[in-house]
Amino acid sequence: MDHLQEAVRKLSETDATFVAVNNDRIIESHERGIAPILTLLLTEPEALRGASVADKVIGKAAALLLIYAGVDHLHAKTISEHAVSVLSEHPVSYSFGQKVPFIVNRKGDGICPMEKQVLNITDPKKAFEILRVGMEL
């Protein structure tokens, strides 16, 4: 089984929200939103380089962070059109179950604040610098 298949299988068989497989290492998280990706970027910046990732929801913020982290493969159960647009401009292979116009915020009444923050950003490093503000470990 390849790494992406393993990540997708783990995501569907557990209550994890995020799974990354890199060589023999499997990283699972139950955190919501972009927290798992930001935490890894801030604590283990190389952990995702070359990894295969499966995530429940990928918006543009998560997509930019994963590009910045250097992932090779990504599968999202749900992905936004904004994420697809930015992923298609980078050498990351991606697949998804469902594509939506944008990621909805937790109240369900508008766009996700993280996706909104980077809506006009295309540079992954700049997105990381913006999104890491306020992230406390």
Residue ranges of domains in the chain: 3-131
Q: How many residues does the chain have?
A: 137
Q: Which amino acid is at 127?
A: A
pTM (2 decimals)?
0.95
Fold entry, domain 3-131: Cytidine Deaminase; domain 2 (3.40.140)
Rounded Cα–Cα distance for residues 118 and 113 (Å) = 9
pLDDT band for position 137 (cuts 50, 70, 90): very low
Q: Is the predicted pLDDT of residue 92 greater than 70, yes or no?
A: yes
Q: Is the predicted pLDDT of residue 127 greater than 70, yes or no?
A: yes
